[in-house]
Amino acid sequence: MSWLYYLLEANLYLVLFYGFYKITLQKDTFFKLNRFYLITSSVLALVFPFIQLGFLKKPILILNDLIVQPSASEPQYSDILPLQEVKQDFLTADHIVFAIYILVAFSLLIKLILTIKNIVKIKNLPSTTLENGVELIELKNSKMAFSFFNSIFLDPHLPDRHTIIKHELAHINQKHSFDVLFFEILQIVNWFNPILHFLKKDVKLIHEYLADEETTKAEIERYPYAMFLIQNSVGFQNFKLTNQIFSSSILKKRITMLNQKKSANWARLKMLILLPLIGGVLALSTMAFTKDYCVLDLYSHALVKQDTIKANSIIEGLTILDEGTKFTLTFRYNDLLKKGMPVSKKLFIVNGKSIESGSIGGVENADYFIDLDSENGMKKYGKKAEFGAVEAVGKNIKILNVPSPPPPGKPID
């Protein structure tokens, strides 16, 4: 599974999970649950491309009694040729896409590092210590109030200092800065997905809901608190990576949520809808996307296929095809001949090139293999394929090195 396929698949799942949140959970007042959902679903979207449901995998198409007629345009070999690696163009479309991806991701990473550096620079200003080791750093004449990890940055001339500190302590105690940094990194990795921009905004909005809820839990009434936010939200700049009490861009939503009636407990049952969604995502991961997990083992003449095909499935004289799957063919170390070889005496062909027996350890990234028995091998390649032939076909094939001998005392399979 290439990096490009992985990113596309993971981002598809991000879109599906985020869509579920927008449609089903966004308007509920279960802020802690919503925060947990957005974080967990984002992690699952990155993990699910590696998960397969074996019983759902497409069956392998096996064609018996394949008769091959040599083509006039096909090169004929009278002798086994020495190994010639398959040449690939230095600059391909994949390389160009990868270069663009890395360039943008690296630029965003540098921007993030510079932002953190600026905050750390401010953090080095004189500070005082509040409860639980929280630092209070005064930014005179800045009209700023925000928190970042274990620090509160505050203009000492802002009104109602006690309310601001209480709000920012809620962010710190609930570890909101970890969420912000996680989603910043997630956006760097998946910068091409516009959903990440909205996902980041919604996570920060949930942070403010949680902090507002904590601030108005005791002592401070909701209505005066809402008026306090309205009166002080004009003229404040947005500082990336931080939680800010006076963020004007989300003020209306915060005021609405402050006055909204709490969602009924039964509404939590909507999370059960996630079960078929997760099942559907796993089915999609299994059935619709390329996975690198197939091995053709010439020692046992078996197609070893994780979770789907048992070992020792006989493939002698058959054609093995599996749409969308990259194959790997491996040899094992032959203790008698002191090199990696298959037990079989079959002729080995890589993209039309005959390979000298024992000169390689196998190939990977083949689009498919054709395993010819003696009759069909001789019809196509003549006497040299009297024991049959194995053809590896694929434009991105890579040659594997000859396997090393097993450690002393370890039995050879």
DSSP string, 197-217: HHHHHHHHHHHHHHHHHHHTT
Instruction: Give me the residue spans of the domains in the chain.
Output: 3-56+92-279, 61-87+292-400
Band of residue 239 on the pLDDT scale cut at 50, 70, 90? low
Contact 390, 360 (CB under 8 A): no
Residue 413 has pLDDT above 80, yes or no: no
Q: Which of 221-230, 244-253, 282-291, 292-301 has the lowest mean pLDDT?
A: 292-301
Q: At 231, list the tokens.
A: 């009166």
Band of residue 318 on the pLDDT scale cut at 50, 70, 90? very low
The count of C-alpha atoms lying within 13 angstroms of the C-alpha of 44, restricted to the half-sphere facing its C-beta, is: 18
Residue 141 has pLDDT above 80, yes or no: yes
Residue 308 has pLDDT above 70, yes or no: no
The Cα 3–Cα 1 span in angstroms is 7
pLDDT attached to residue 51: 80
Structure-model confidence comparison of residues 314 and 291, the more confident one: 291
Band of residue 249 on the pLDDT scale cut at 50, 70, 90? confident
pLDDT attached to residue 65: 34
Structure-model confidence comparison of residues 100 and 361, the more confident one: 100
